[in-house]
Amino acid sequence: MASNWQLNGFYDATKLTGLYEAARRRVSCRSFAAAPTCEQWNALLSSVDTLTLPGARIALGMCENTLFQPMFGLLMKFENVQRFAAVIAHDDTPQSAVDAGVSGEMLMLRAVELGLGGVWVSGTFKRGQVGIKLAAGEKLLALIALGVPKVEQADNPARKRKEIAALCPEIDTLPPALREVAQYVRIAPSAMNMQPWRITMVNENEVTLAVSLPYQRLDLGIAIAHAVLALGSTPALLSLDDTGLVASIELR
């Protein structure tokens, strides 16, 4: 595990204000009453720089609803999408994909904190309509549809989630801080809605958070964003292995 991850110390309390509560309210939203207001959009633009890790890039854009129209017979219906965030990895390294997941989810939660809704979309969008220019080596991993939700997002909404024991069999033996991490990973979205995470206890002060497949690195980053929020001010060191499939969270 490499412990020199720039994630450590990147997100201070000022950057994360309001995001812990936003994670509790967040639900996937595909139907929007309106585009973000100018005030909301400007706040998101300001948050891009503060919430994006060095290995990633988030670009905000305008769009037509057709960008998210169902493809290949899929039943997901989008309504009145006018804005989106493009989640981009700087290069093909495993860490860059994980960084992109962390950064995108932090921005998603900032949107929720501002009164907006959104949903991760990793494959079912029309890439030719995105209109975001990529630099050499960059890779577009996913979009986040954004807007004012038609239905208000409430605290502790009912979600179809895996049982916590399925994600973390040792949940009852974890110390409180790591138990909170596991619970917050459980409510995280995943780009393909598969909740692919596995939390394993290493010792009383450390767990690993892992996915199985390379395309799930984005989901690992999303989960790590929730882990960071759950830790709050609890001292901890986060590490990522060379494959980008396993992260370690060690209490200090």
Task: Give the CATH number of the domain where residue 63 resides.
Answer: 3.40.109.10
Token pair in block for residue 52: 């994006």
**Are residues 40 and 145 located together in one domain of the fold?**
yes
Q: Kindly report the length of the chain.
A: 252
Q: What residue numbers bound the domain in which 100 lies?
A: 13-149
* Tens-place pLDDT, residues 79-94: 999 999 999 999 999 9
**Are residues 33 and 132 located together in one domain of the fold?**
yes
pLDDT number for residue 13: 87
Beta strands in the chain (DSSP E): 32-34, 56-62, 83-89, 117-121, 139-149, 198-203, 206-210, 236-240, 246-251
Residue 154: inside a domain: no
**Are residues 169 and 79 located together in one domain of the fold?**
no
**Are residues 42 and 80 located together in one domain of the fold?**
yes
Residue 200: inside a domain: yes
Residue 5: inside a domain: no
**Domain end residue (candidates: 95, 116, 149):** 149
For the chain, the distance separating the N- and C-terminal CA atoms, rounded to the nearest angstrom, is 16
Task: Give the CATH number of the domain where residue 198 resides.
Answer: 3.40.109.30
pLDDT number for residue 156: 46
The CA-atom distances, in angstroms, between 125 and each of 36, 63, 77, 86, 243 are: 20, 11, 12, 11, 27
Domain count, the chain: 2
**Are residues 135 and 210 located together in one domain of the fold?**
no
**Domain end residue (candidates: 118, 149, 180):** 149
Residue 2: inside a domain: no
pLDDT number for residue 106: 98
Q: Are 209 and 247 in contact (CB under 8 A)?
A: yes
Residue 184: inside a domain: yes
pLDDT number for residue 126: 83
**Are residues 120 and 178 located together in one domain of the fold?**
no
Report how far residue 223's alpha carbon sits from residue 75's, in angstroms, rounded to the nearest whole number. Answer: 26
**Are residues 171 and 132 located together in one domain of the fold?**
no
Residue 7: inside a domain: no
120-135 in b/e burial notation, b at 16+ Cβ within 10 A?
bbbeebeeeebebeee
**Are residues 199 and 229 located together in one domain of the fold?**
yes
**Are residues 27 and 144 located together in one domain of the fold?**
yes
Question: Which residues does the chain have with pLDDT short of 70?
Answer: 1-3, 70-76, 153-159, 191-192
pLDDT number for residue 70: 62
Residue 1: inside a domain: no
pLDDT number for residue 2: 62
89 three-class SS: strand
Residue 157: inside a domain: no
pLDDT number for residue 244: 95
